[in-house]
Structure 1
C-alpha cells in the first residue's frame, strides 16, 4: 500500500486538561464509527523561561509520556481503544499538531487547555490548528463545563498539546 492510499488516523491532542480528555473520548468515538485508527499526541518542550533550575532527574519527554498515559487512563479506564497509538513529540503544541495533521484524516483538540485565560472561548493552540491544519479540525468544549476549562498552575504547564 502506498502513502496515498494509507489509512489516515484521527489525531487528538492531549495535555491532560478536562477538555483534552473529552476530546480524546470524542476522537475515539469517531474513530470507532468511521473505522479509523486513533493517534493520541502530547507535545512537550522546555519552558520559555527555562533557566536550568529544574532537577537533573526531570526528563520532559518522560513527564509528557506519564501525562499522556494518565489522560488515557482517565478517558478509558482500563479499556483503551484497540486501534489507539500514542506519541510524545518535541516542540510547541500548535506546530506539532499541525505537522501531525499532514498525515491525519481529522484533528481533534480541546477548546482550552492548561494555559492562557479562562474566559476565552478558544485557546491559542486550538485557534492555530483551526487556521493551519491540513485536515478537518474538531474543537471540543469540555462536556461537563459550559465555559472554558479551568486554568492550571501545575508543574506540567509546559507539557501539553492543547492550550
Structure 2
C-alpha cells in the first residue's frame, strides 16, 4: 500500500541513496558539478528542522519517493513575506509513471498551506523535460531562466 509520511532519521540511509541518484540524473544537465561524490543536502538537519518538511512516499513500509519544502524569507521587493521552496524530488525507477511525484507535491502543498503560505517555487534544469512536464502538471509555470557562461570558452 502506498502512503506518505514525514521522513524520520531511520529513513536517512535510503534518503542518502536517493540524493546520489538525483545527482547522477542531474550531472548530464550541469557540467559545473564536481566529478567526485558530492552532496546537495544536509538531510539529517532537514529532517530535524522546524521550517522544513521532508516527505517520503512508502510502499509496504519501504521509501520509494521523497521531496521537501522549506520556508524561505524572500527579498524585500516581493509581495509576499514567506514562500516555500521545493526540492529533493526523487522517485525510484520501479515506481515512476504511477503518479508518485504528484502525491509528493500534494503532501508538500498541504504542509505549506498549513503554514499559511501560498507562494511555492522550485528550480529545474531547462533540459530536464520530464521533470518540467511533471511540475507543470502540478500547476507550476516557468518563471525565470538562470543562464551561465564559462569565460574560458569565450575568445
So what's the TM-score if we normalise by structure 2? 0.29
- Which structure's CA Rg is the greater one? 2
So what's the TM-score if we normalise by structure 1? 0.28
Give 1 or 2: higher strand fraction: 2
